[in-house]
């Protein structure tokens, strides 16, 4: 059973990270191209991964798996949100760091911005948040013997 990980669509700036997962399309061509097999990490790989991270925090993520986009390259519709226009103006004034889009296995650290005295809302120590999307490569279509209500997407809770 081989599993893969992908971030269908992700955007992150500072402590704001958003991942959008269209249920109808999580196997579409758009998303499949993001799927990557996750190799098992042996001890030497882990040693390499973490020893690099201790000297350079950014290297925790394999940079080859990160795609970076400039906001302007996305050609957003001007009618969508006036924020876009303001973003471009701010970028020209170099007040706004370029937003980066994570598509691989780690959220992207963004260039520090001019911040008023903001602290993390949860703790006095900076904290990062992680969001992971997993998808099996081979979905075994097995019927669960437990009957569930299927009129609407049902949220059940098992704790």
Applying the rule CB under 8 A, the residues between 65 and 94 that interact with another protein are 69, 71, 74-77, 79-81, 83-84, 86-87, 90
d(CA 131, CA 83) in angstroms, rounded, equals 25
Q: Does 23 bind another protein (CB under 8 A)?
A: yes
Q: Is residue 146 part of the contact set for another protein (CB under 8 A)?
A: yes
Binder of another protein out of 20, 44, 64, 94 (CB under 8 A):
20
Binding marks (x or -) toward another protein, 95..134, rule CB under 8 A?
xx--x-x---xx------xxxxxxx-xxxxxxxxxxxxxx
Q: Which is nearer to another protein, 57 or 63 (CB)?
A: 57
Classify residue 149 by burial, with Cβ atoms within 10 Å: 0-12, 13-18, 19+. Answer: exposed
- Phi/psi-derived region of residue 94, left when phi > 0, alpha when psi is between -120 and 50, beta in every other case: left
Q: Which is nearer to another protein, 60 or 109 (CB)?
A: 60
Q: How many residues bind another protein (CB under 8 A)?
A: 95
- Distance set, CA 99 to CA 20, 90, 96 (Å): 16, 12, 8
b/e map of 14-40 (b: 16 or more CB within 10 Å)?
eeebeeeeeeeeeeeeebeebeeeeee
Of 103, 84, 122, 77, the closest CA to residue 17 belongs to: 103
- Of 44 and 153, nearer to another protein (C-beta) is 153
Among 60, 66, 88, 109, binds another protein (CB under 8 A): 60
Backbone angles phi, psi at 30, to 5 degrees: -55, -40
Rounded to the nearest whole angstrom, what is the least distance from the CB of residue 94 to another protein in the complex? 12
CB of 111 to another protein, least distance (A): 14
Which one among 19, 35, 66, 98 touches another protein, defined by CB under 8 A?
19
């Amino acid at each position: 059973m081989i599993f893969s990980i992908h971030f269908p669509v992700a955007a992150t700036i500072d402590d704001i990270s958003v991942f959008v997962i269209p249920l109808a399309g999580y196997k579409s061509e758009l998303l499949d191209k993001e799927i990557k097999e996750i190799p098992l990490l042996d001890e030497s790989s882990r040693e390499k991964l973490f020893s690099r991270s201790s000297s350079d925090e950014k290297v925790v993520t394999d940079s080859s798996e990160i795609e970076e986009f400039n906001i302007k390259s996305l050609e957003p519709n001007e009618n969508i949100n006036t924020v876009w226009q303001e973003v471009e103006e701010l970028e020209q004034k170099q007040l706004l760091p370029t937003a980066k889009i994570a598509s691989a296995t780690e959220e992207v650290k963004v260039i520090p911005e001019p911040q008023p005295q903001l602290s993390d809302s949860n703790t006095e120590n900076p904290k990062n948040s992680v969001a992971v999307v997993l998808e099996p490569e081979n979905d075994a279509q097995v019927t669960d013997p437990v009957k569930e209500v299927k009129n609407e997407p049902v949220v059940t809770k098992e704790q």
